[in-house]
């Protein structure tokens, strides 16, 4: 499609771009007469998805959120020609309800979350996200926040470090790595990504180093998630976003590891399931689903896209459409619900 070509020429290939456009288009096109539809890109990044949506829908308005000020600046330049339809806000994606309220928007027809670390954050060595560069242990998506990866590595108790590595990195050797970090930081604080990556490599048994890519990958993922509070924020953000959609509104979510995708699946499945107790002859209004799933399970990129954009390989796409408003519970004694 032309949108994909334009994005590629801009030096950035948004993940599953054409599929995201096709999933969100019906919501944008069904906006009521007299209202220019609103699209929220809750993780703006480089602005590739936002640019394609604005190109595809001439009446579309955009609210773009990102916790990284440099992303806001970069996307602002990319989207400059749409300036009269664009509002960019430095905010974390669980702040979406507050942003909509402050901008006087009752709802958004379409919302996209493209989770995880962005390409610039990985490519800018000084950000400390990548184990392939030697850089300060930072990993903050928002450089104005206080907590860094160095704070976690040097300040957390070994038991807490092991828990983070096990839960957020799904690291089988979490205890060994945490113990190695504890021994090392007794001698001197750990400050660099290169030293941490080497320490992890040494802590992992030799047979485990020979498969599965860089042995530091899971440790770096776990630290990044902890530093940025990604899973806790996502637990809050997705339900809040669903509340911001009108009937016919749609949400699309791109996640890049199983923990994010697990939360997405759980939330979307819950709101798209009829919970009427078994045995009743009809579905009870307050138990009917308020959303319907638009994807069968999680969709993944094809081989051609992965070849063109290797960072898309782990992407998982899920989407849903609001089909009804929640029904308030009946009032109990004294008029209380």
Digit-coded pLDDT (tens) for 163-207: 999 999 999 999 999 999 999 999 999 999 999 999 999 999 887
Question: Higher pLDDT residue, 130 or 123?
Answer: 130
Q: What is residue 134's predicted lDDT score, i.e. its pLDDT? A: 87
* DSSP, res 314: T
- 27 has pLDDT over 50: yes
Contact between 67 and 91 under an 8 Å Cβ cutoff? The reply is yes
Instruction: For residue 329, name the pLDDT band (cuts at 50, 70, 90).
Output: very low
Instruction: For residue 33, name the pLDDT band (cuts at 50, 70, 90).
Output: confident
Residue keyed to tokens 């990102």: 66
Round to whole Å and give the CA distance between 74 and 107. Answer: 26
Residue range 48-56: average pLDDT?
97
Q: What is residue 125's predicted lDDT score, i.e. its pLDDT? A: 60
Please state, for a pLDDT cut of 70, what percent of the chain lies above it: 89
Annotated binding site: 47-49, 66, 93, 114, 121
pTM greater than 0.85 (yes/no): yes
Q: What is residue 285's predicted lDDT score, i.e. its pLDDT? A: 84
- 23 has pLDDT over 60: yes
- 2 has pLDDT over 70: no
- 6 has pLDDT over 50: no
Dig out the tokens for 44 from the structure: 């703006």
Contact between 48 and 10 under an 8 Å Cβ cutoff? The reply is yes
- 47 has pLDDT over 90: yes
Dig out the tokens for 244 from the structure: 């911001």
Instruction: For residue 140, name the pLDDT band (cuts at 50, 70, 90).
Output: very high
Instruction: For residue 337, name the pLDDT band (cuts at 50, 70, 90).
Output: very low
**What domains sit in the chain, N to C, each tagged with a CATH number?**
2-114+232-322 (3.40.50.150), 133-228 (1.10.150.170)
Question: Higher pLDDT residue, 114 or 287?
Answer: 114
Element (H, E) at 228: helix 217-228
**Other Cβ atoms closer than 10 A to 252:** 24
* DSSP, res 79: T
Annotated binding site for S-adenosyl-L-methionine: 47-49, 66, 93, 114, 121
Q: What is residue 96's predicted lDDT score, i.e. its pLDDT? A: 97
């Amino acid at each position: 499609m032309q949108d994909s070509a334009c994005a590629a020429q801009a030096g950035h290939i948004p993940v599953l771009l054409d599929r995201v456009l096709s999933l969100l288009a019906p919501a944008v096109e069904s906006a009521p007469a007299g209202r220019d539809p609103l699209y929220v890109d809750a993780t703006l990044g480089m602005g590739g998805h936002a640019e394609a949506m604005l190109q595809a829908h001439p009446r579309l308005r955009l609210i773009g959120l990102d916790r990284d000020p440099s992303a806001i600046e970069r996307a602002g330049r990319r989207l400059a020609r749409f300036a009269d339809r664009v509002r960019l806000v430095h905010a974390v994606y669980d702040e979406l309800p507050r942003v909509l309220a402050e901008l006087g928007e009752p709802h958004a027809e379409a919302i996209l979350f493209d989770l995880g670390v962005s390409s610039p954050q990985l490519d800018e060595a000084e950000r400390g996200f990548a184990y392939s560069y030697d850089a300060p242990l930072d990993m903050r998506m928002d450089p104005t926040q206080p907590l860094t990866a160095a704070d976690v590595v040097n300040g957390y108790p070994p038991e807490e470090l092991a828990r983070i590595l096990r839960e957020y990195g799904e690291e089988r050797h979490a205890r060994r790595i945490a113990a190695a970090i504890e021994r090392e930081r007794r001698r001197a604080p750990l400050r660099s990504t290169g030293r941490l990556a080497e320490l992890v490599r040494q802590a992992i048994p030799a047979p485990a180093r020979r498969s599965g890519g860089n042995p530091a990958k899971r440790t770096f993922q776990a630290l990044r998630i902890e530093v940025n509070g990604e899973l806790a924020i996502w637990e809050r953000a997705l339900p809040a976003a669903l509340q911001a959609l009108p009937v016919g509104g749609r949400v699309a979510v791109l996640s890049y590891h199983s923990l994010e995708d697990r939360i997405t699946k759980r939330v979307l499945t819950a709101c798209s399931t009829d919970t009427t107790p078994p045995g009743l002859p009809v579905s009870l209004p307050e138990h009917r689903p308020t959303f319907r799933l638009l994807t069968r399970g999680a969709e993944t990129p094809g081989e051609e896209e992965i070849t063109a954009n290797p960072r898309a390989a782990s992407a998982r796409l899920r989407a849903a459409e609001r089909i009804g408003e929640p029904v308030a519970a009946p009032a109990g004694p004294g008029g209380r619900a």
